[in-house]
Amino acid sequence: MNISGQHDIPSVPLREEHATPGATRRLEGGMRVNGQGLHRPAGDTPVVTVVTVVRNGESFLEWTILSVLGQTYDEVEFIVIDGGSTDGTLDVVRRYDPKIDYWISEPDKGIYDAMNKGIDRAGGEWVLFLNAGDVFCDSEVLKSVVQDIPPDAEVVYGGHQEDYEGGYRSIRTAGPISDLWKGMIFSHQAMLVKTSLIKRYKFNVASRIAADYEFIYSLYQQRRRFHRSQIVISRVLADGFSASRNLRLTLDQWRIARNYTDQPVMIDLYHLTKLAGVCIKNMLKKVMPRRVSAYLRSR
C-alpha cells in the first residue's frame, strides 16, 4: 500500500518536558498543545474520539493516520498515544502534528495502560480505538455508524475485516451480545463506547491481553445498552500471537466468562472444546507452510 506523499503537511517543533533531571522523556504535541483547544462540534452531531496507541510502529502507523484523516465525518477528534518509541514512529506523528488533536509519547505499562491514557484525554461523546496498522473499512464508515446509533445506546459495535499474510482476508460479522460468554464476539476496533461510560470504568491494566473482553463483559453484566450494527467498521491486521499467547488468551476469556456467569458447567464445556481447538491449530501451524496456515486462519 503506497501511502506516502498523500498530505502536504508542514512539520512543527516538538514540545519536550522533563519533570526532574534524569526523568523519563515526555513529548507531546498536536492542536491542543498548539493552542487550539478541544474539538467542539459545529452542530448537533456528536464528536467521535479516535484513539490510536502505538509503539515502534513506524512502518504502519501512517496507514492508520491517513484512514482517520480521510473520514468524511467531520466531527472526529484524533488522539495518538505512543509508548516511547525508539524507531521513526515520532517522525511520522510529527509529520501530521497539525492534523492530530493531541499526541503524547512516553513509556507506558502496556497496551491497556496506553488505551487508558487515551480515555483520560478524550473530549468527544464517543470513543473508538483504532490500533496502529488498522484502518477504517472506507472513508464513509464513521458517518454511517453515527447515523445508525439509536438514541439510548451506550455501546455500539459492528463487524470487522481481518487481513492475513499472503493477501487473505476474512469478514467477521459481530455476534449477538448474548453470545459474549463464548469469547470476544467483535473486535474492539469496531466498537464505540460513550465517553462518560468508558472514563468511569476503563481497562484493567493487570490483564495483559484480555482487558477489552473483561471491560465489555462487565458492561454487559451491568445491563448497559448495546447496539449491534450491521456495518463492517474496521480492517485489522490479523494477530501475530504466539501459540502460548493464544492459549493464554483463551484461558483468560474462559476465566472472565466464568466469573461473570451463573452457568459454570456450560461455560466449562464450551471453553474446554475451544481450548482443544486452539491446541490443534497451534500444532498445525508448526508443520504447515506459513501461507497455508494464513489461508486456513482466514476461513
Following DSSP, what letter does each residue of 122-138 receive, concatenated? --SSEEEE--TT-EESS
Q: Which residue has the higher pLDDT, 73 or 246?
A: 73
284/265 Cα distance (integer angstroms): 29
The SS3 assignment for 38 reads coil
Average confidence (pLDDT) over 270-293: 79
Place of cell 459474549: 180
Question: Three cell numbers at 231?
Answer: 456495518
In tens, the pLDDT along 163-208 reads 887 788 899 999 999 999 999 999 999 999 999 999 999 999 998 8
In tens, the pLDDT along 3-55 reads 333 333 333 334 444 334 444 679 999 999 998 878 888 778 999 999 999 99
CB atoms within 10 A of CB 152: 7
Cα 72 to Cα 75, 76, 212: the distances in Å are 9, 9, 28
Looking at residue 237, what is its pLDDT? Answer: 83
- The answer to whether residue 104 scores a pLDDT higher than 90 is yes
Element of type H or E holding 277 = helix 264-287
CA angle 290, 293, 294 (to 5 degrees): 85
Number of helices followed by number of strands (H, E) in the chain: 9, 11
CB atoms within 10 A of CB 149: 15
Place of cell 459481530: 174
Of 62, 285, 6, the C-alpha closest to 164 is 285
24/224 Cα distance (integer angstroms): 39
Of 47, 79, 52, the C-alpha closest to 64 is 52
233/31 Cα distance (integer angstroms): 26
Rounded to the nearest integer, the mean pLDDT of the chain is: 87
Looking at residue 297, what is its pLDDT? Answer: 57
> CATH code for 15-239?
3.90.550.10
Enumerate the domain spans of the chain: 15-239
Looking at residue 24, what is its pLDDT? Answer: 63
